[in-house]
Amino acid sequence: MQVLHRSEHTLKKALISKNPVLVSQYDKLDAGERRLMSEAFQPSSNLFGPIIVHSQSDWINSHPEVPQDFEQFFTDSHRKAPGPEKHIIYIQSIGSLGNNKVISEEYIKWLKGYCEAFFYGLTVKFLEPVSISETKCSFRVNEHTQNLQIHAGHILAFLKKKKPEDAFCIVGITMIDLYPRDSWNFVFGQASLTDGVGIFSFARYGKDFYSSRYEGKVKKHQQTSSSDYSIFDNYYSPEITSILLWRSCKALLRWIDDESNGSSGAAPVNSSDPANLKKPVEAFKDWREWLIKCIAILEK
- Please state which of the ranges 81-90, 229-238, 269-278 shows the lowest mean pLDDT: 269-278
What is the C-alpha to C-alpha distance for residues 55 and 23, in angstroms, rounded to an integer? 40
Q: What is the pLDDT of residue 161?
A: 96
More confident residue, 190 or 44: 190
**CB of 252 closer than 8 Å to CB of 115:** yes
What is the C-alpha to C-alpha distance for residues 227 and 235, in angstroms, rounded to an integer? 16
Output the CA angle 257-22-167, nearest 5 degrees: 30
Residue type, 7: S
Q: How far is CA 133 from the centre of its chain?
A: 24
Q: What b/e readout covers 210-245, taking b as 16+ CB neighbours within 10 angstroms?
A: eeeebebebeeeeeeeeeebebbeebbbbebeeebb
What is the C-alpha to C-alpha distance for residues 249 and 252, in angstroms, rounded to an integer? 5
More confident residue, 135 or 218: 135
**CB of 205 closer than 8 Å to CB of 107:** no
Which among 262, 248, 291 has a CA at the least distance from the CA of 93?
248
Q: What is the pLDDT of residue 267?
A: 32
Dihedral sign, Cα of residue 174, residue 180, residue 185, residue 187: negative
**CB of 147 closer than 8 Å to CB of 141:** yes
Q: What is the CATH number of domain 84-266+276-300?
A: 3.40.390
pLDDT digits (tens, 9 = 90+) for 221-270: 566 666 789 888 888 877 776 666 677 777 777 767 766 665 433 333 23
Instruction: Determine how many CB atoms are found less than 10 A away from the CB of residue 109.
Output: 11
* Band (46; pLDDT cuts 50, 70, 90): confident
* Band (278; pLDDT cuts 50, 70, 90): very low
Q: What is the pLDDT of residue 283?
A: 41
Decide: helix, strand or coil at residue 228.
coil
Say if residue 216's pLDDT is above 50: yes
The mean pLDDT value for 202-216 works out to: 83
Say if residue 45's pLDDT is above 60: yes
Name the average pLDDT for the chain. Answer: 79
pLDDT digits (tens, 9 = 90+) for 184-199: 999 999 998 889 999 9
pLDDT digits (tens, 9 = 90+) for 113-133: 888 888 878 899 999 999 999
Residue ranges of the domains in the chain? 1-63, 84-266+276-300
Concatenated DSSP letters of 100-152 = SHHHHHHHHHHHHHHHHHHSTTSEEEEPPPB-HHHHT--EEE-TTT-BEEEEH
The mean pLDDT value for 104-117 works out to: 82
* Band (4; pLDDT cuts 50, 70, 90): confident
More confident residue, 205 or 226: 205
